[in-house]
Amino acid sequence: MSLGDASLRALAHPVRLRIMSLLTGAELTAADVARALGITHANASYHLRHLSAGGLIAAAGEEKIRGGLAKRYRCTAAQRLTTDVWVDPAAWRAARDRIAEAVRHLRDAAVPPGTPGAIRAVAVIELEPQPGPPDEMGESVP
């Protein structure tokens, strides 16, 4: 799946990336997103509209809330995985190594373009640990 200009623009905000992470595993309303991220309902709705316009999320249904209707949203790209979590450095290294192995597997299995029955697989993966809070020695933990 290729990301077009509209999708890339929709992802060009840190709040929208966090929303994508939330919607990867659940269908949520704007109120749910607002509570989870500590932002206003209006702000959550604004960012959800941008993600929807970019084709990254879609309405998954509606639910009645206090006499009104609230849309539930879901991620539309099943193979687009995002996460923003805190993990132990050993878990980070293990995940990084498994992802590197999966990429090597794809490269090793590559066939010439246009081979009958073959599909094009595109994977763009950027893994970078973010500095954490200082540890007891004052060092930033990767």
Q: Which residue has the higher pLDDT, 85 or 136?
A: 85
Q: Are 62 and 71 in contact (CB under 8 A)?
A: yes
At residue 13, the pLDDT reads 87
Q: State CA 102 to chain mean position distance.
A: 19
The chain-wide mean pLDDT, for the chain, equals 81
Using alpha carbons, select from 20, 79, 78 the residue that is nearest to residue 47.
20
Count of H-run helices and E-run strands, the chain: 5, 2
E-strand ranges in 1-142 read 57-65, 68-75
Phi, psi of 82 (to 5 degrees): -130, 155
Domain ranges of the chain: 5-75, 85-133
Percent of the chain with pLDDT over 70: 78
Q: Which architecture, in CATH terms, is 5-75?
A: Orthogonal Bundle (1.10)
Going by the DSSP 8-state scheme, the letter that residue 30 receives in this structure is: H
Over the stretch 1-11, which tens digit does the pLDDT of each residue have? 445 677 777 87
Q: What is the rounded distance in angstroms from the CA atom of residue 77 to the CA atom of residue 51?
A: 12
